[in-house]
Structure 1
Amino acid sequence: MTLPLSKFLRWAAAAALTACIAAPLPASAQAVNSRLNEITKTKKLRVCQYPLYYSISFRNPKTGEIEGIDADLSKELAKELGAQLEIVESSFGTFIADLQANKCDIGMFGIGASLKRAQAVEFSKPYLITNIYAVTRKDGPVKSWADIDKPGMKVAVTLGSYIEPFMKNYLKNAELVSVAPPNSREGELVAGRVDVIMTDFPTAVKVTDEFDWAKSIEPPEKLAVTPYAYVINQGDQVWLNYVNLFIDTIKLDGRLKKYADKNKLGPIVAP
């Protein structure tokens, strides 16, 4: 059967339109649509950070400034981009939604790269690698790792952290308490509402340095070893490539080591 010319042209146009819609964007179009292009145009870098994260992105109550390795490295990234840095307060429970709602261009606050999170965001190359530690009071009931998972013990984690689902499966007897901002695990421990908090190397080091009542406990074997990375929205390979190059660059030129050592995180720098 032969189609009339007019019908054939309509069919060909529809097919061409379908092909255009289905075809991936060429590299030049991806570059135009990339967050990197927007940042260089507006000269503004919006960084999501969790301001209650010791050694990573903690807001100093005396100065109001955010301090830690990612406070330092976000300034370095903004400098490389020739952009003004704007900090957007976020948390482990909200950073994915904040990115998807275009509240920030990147999340930079020691975010554990997990397979579940990777279903919703893109992770950069890792810059730190850590595992789980416990922090408790020296005068409290927890004296060793074996004391943690006992009936009656209350174990605090940060809501939305990668540690939360791990501890849900790990604990068999103790009660898990998920703490949401503006409250903090440390505050709950000081108030006596929990017996121990589960955290990572950065927080364990900072809390035990800052407070003489605190002590950290390392598990007999490393638990939930996790790479820490930066996060961006899915589908922006140009921006991801730039962020990865930034990480490679600060590893090579010594800035990552410099700021890790400044914040006592040298032992967990990713190779």
Structure 2
Amino acid sequence: MTVDHDIRAALMPTGVLRASINLGNPILARWDLESQQAMGVSVDLATELAKRLAAKLQLVVFDAAGKSVAAVTEDAADVGFFALDPLRSQGLYFTAPYVLIEGSYLVRMDSPLLANDQVDAAGLRVMVGRGSAYDLYLTRELKHAQILRAPTSPTVVDEFLAQATDVAAGVRQQLEADALRLDGLRVLPGRFMVIQQAMGLPRSRGLNAAAFMIDFVEDMKRSGFVTQALERHRIQGAVVAPQRQE
């Protein structure tokens, strides 16, 4: 597959494909201690994109979604892997989602809260990861509960305990892992949102580059690449997003 010169130039103006990788979402990426490298579904997609562009890949790794988004929005990286959100679309073009994951709530075992719709109540404090998809969503949706912000998504539960808040919000898999790691915690049943994970690029790169990326993601879903990546990295609870409707 030969990619048009103008598309290659738009996607990687430095001559290297710089991919922004967020380690704050364990569904997408994690730091492998043995290899001292980032690994995961997003890294696999970035690697395949670089291969198709016949380009060298440079991973730009961050510990939080907000930092990763900022890098791409500010042209410090060429592509990234983010949850769809209207606020982020102001500076980015997005593909359709490639993976769907759940946003859930965690509480203490003795909490009176039993359902998601009980969380938005006066006097309750909800801990979220700063700049995460669920931070942006809950900032719009919660009308009565107070939102507090941890520096990164993986530190949400630790901050929830340290600051004695009522609820922790995050990716279900991260919360379930924390509930196993720490005693006396439980995840509320169901979800408060579906997080649509997509690829994004700076709006400055133009519509043709965006169209190429949209087609790339659809091919990754259609070919089974995303399914195989989820299986390879043993990711549970995430599903491949449906094909984009024309």
TM-aligned CA deviation for residue 61 of structure 1: 5.6
TM-aligned CA deviation for residue 99 of structure 1: 2.0
Listed as ranges, the matches of 1:72-151 within 5 Å are: 72-90=44-62, 91-108=64-81, 111-137=82-108, 139=109, 141=111, 144-145=114-115, 148-150=119-121
SS in 2 for 1:144: coil
Contact 2:80/2:200 (8 A) holds in 1: yes
Q: Which amino acid aligns with 1:97?
A: A
Q: Which amino acid aligns with 1:34?
A: A
Contact 2:132/2:153 (8 A) holds in 1: no
Q: C-alpha distance in 2, partners of 1:212/1:247?
A: 37
TM-aligned CA deviation for residue 80 of structure 1: 3.1
TM normalised by structure 1 equals: 0.70
Q: Which residue in the other structure is 2:230 paired with?
A: 260
Contact 1:54/1:206 (8 A) holds in 2: no
1:53 aligns with 2:25: yes
- Pair 1:257–1:206, CA change in 2 (3 A): farther
Aligned residue-pair number: 234
Q: Which amino acid aligns with 2:31?
A: R
Gapped regions of structure 1 (runs ≥ 5): 1-27
Q: Which residue in the other structure is 1:156 paired with?
A: 127
TM-aligned CA deviation for residue 59 of structure 1: 2.4
Residues 25-63 of structure 1 deviation map (CA, whole Å, 9 limit, x = unaligned): xxx895475125x47xx3x32111222222212324675
Q: C-alpha distance in 2, partners of 1:128/1:142?
A: 33
The structure whose Rg is larger is: 1
Residues 81-119 of structure 1 deviation map (CA, whole Å, 9 limit, x = unaligned): 3333322134332344322432111112xx221223212
TM-aligned CA deviation for residue 127 of structure 1: 0.4
SS in 1 for 2:66: coil
Which of 184, 198, 204 is matched with 1:229 structurally?
Answer: 198
TM-aligned CA deviation for residue 185 of structure 1: 0.7
TM-aligned CA deviation for residue 226 of structure 1: 4.0
TM normalised by structure 2 equals: 0.76
Residues 235-256 of structure 1 deviation map (CA, whole Å, 9 limit, x = unaligned): 4233323322322222222111
Q: Which residue in the other structure is 2:10 paired with?
A: 34
Which of 187, 208, 220 is matched with 1:250 structurally?
Answer: 220
SS in 1 for 2:65: coil
Which of 156, 166, 170 is matched with 2:137 structurally?
Answer: 166
Q: Which amino acid aligns with 1:162?
A: A
1:196 aligns with 2:172: no
Q: C-alpha distance in 1, partners of 2:187/2:192?
A: 15
Contact 1:155/1:194 (8 A) holds in 2: yes
Q: Which amino acid aligns with 1:88?
A: V
